[in-house]
Amino acid sequence: MDLKNIISCVSLVLLFFLTIGVILHNQFTVQTMTTMSMQKAYVAIIIDDFGNDRRGVREMMELDIPITVAVMPFLPYSVEDATNAYKKGLDVILHMPMEANYGRPEWLGKKAITTKLNRAQITSLINDALKDIKYAVAINNHMGSKITQNKTIMNTIFNLLKRKNLFFIDSKTSQKSVGSMLSKETGVVCLQRDIFLDEKKTYTHIQRQMNKLAKIAHEKGYAIAIGHVGPEGGKVTADVIKKMAGELQKQGIEFVGIVKMKNIILNLTR
């Protein structure tokens, strides 16, 4: 066999093995991606601001996944929204207005927790709010950057939650929040928001946030998101969740209420 034929044979053999290698690599990549996408992960979506503005309320209530309904107290539709959510089997939480470092005071409403209140006034206010939202299993903060970084006030809130066997969901409007620290000191469970869905009220942004939510969930096993009814999100947020829920479920995401999420997190972090 001359040199030309030898080179040709060697080239064919190399081409054969290169092709086999590419095929095996592609199969491995597809299998790996499929395995990753099908890994079980849990997502809880809290929808804030029920109780007042009606934009998106009906659409959120009609979703096929178990959202958690966060209802602001003392508003025209507070009792109605909490009752309807409870009857649908959804978790209800008290979305308690709390003073912020910045923002308009009128956004808080007339009965908000502020730094001007003493311990007795704060306790009385939360008790009244829980009577208004009587199905609440937990509390999260509406605004509240100034309050959640105030250890004295948060200690009052956590001690009340402990007596009532409730837990706290920190919306993380302040990176200086003392929620996690007080959780360790008091034994009150404190969950934290991982992502806001609708900081920008556009379909593209919310879709991007939903994908990011799934990524976070797959990385650590679970993730908590917050969206809104009313002017901040409303129907747009509901539409994106509705259209993307099935896609995320195919990726191994299971949507759960906040009570089940609490139990999942406690089991995973023990």
**Integer Cα distance of 211 and 199 in angstroms:** 15
- The verdict on 107 and 19 lying in the same domain is no
Give me the pLDDT at residue 253, please: 98
Instruction: Count how many domains the chain has.
Output: 2
Specify the pTM.
0.86
Judgement on whether residues 136 and 223 belong to the same structural domain of the protein: yes
Query: Which candidate, 72, 84, 83, places its Cα nearest to that of 47?
Result: 72
Q: Identify which of 56, 72, 62 has the alpha carbon closest to the alpha carbon of residue 230.
A: 56
Residues 119 and 10 placed together within one structural domain of the fold: no
Q: Can you tell me which residue has the tokens 């990726």?
A: 251
Q: What is the pLDDT along the chain (270 residues), one digit of tens a residue?
A: 565 555 555 555 555 555 555 454 455 444 444 444 568 999 999 999 999 999 999 999 999 999 999 999 999 999 999 999 999 999 999 999 999 999 877 778 779 999 999 999 999 999 999 999 999 999 999 999 999 999 999 999 999 999 999 999 999 999 999 999 999 999 999 999 999 999 999 999 999 999 999 999 999 999 999 999 999 999 999 999 999 999 999 999 999 999 999 999 999 987
- Which residues span the domain enclosing 7? 1-38
Residues 13 and 90 in one domain: no
Contact indicator for 194, 225 with CB cutoff of 8 Å:
yes
Residue 134 amino acid letter: K
* pLDDT confidence of residue 39: 86
If asked whether residues 172 and 155 sit together in one domain, one would say yes
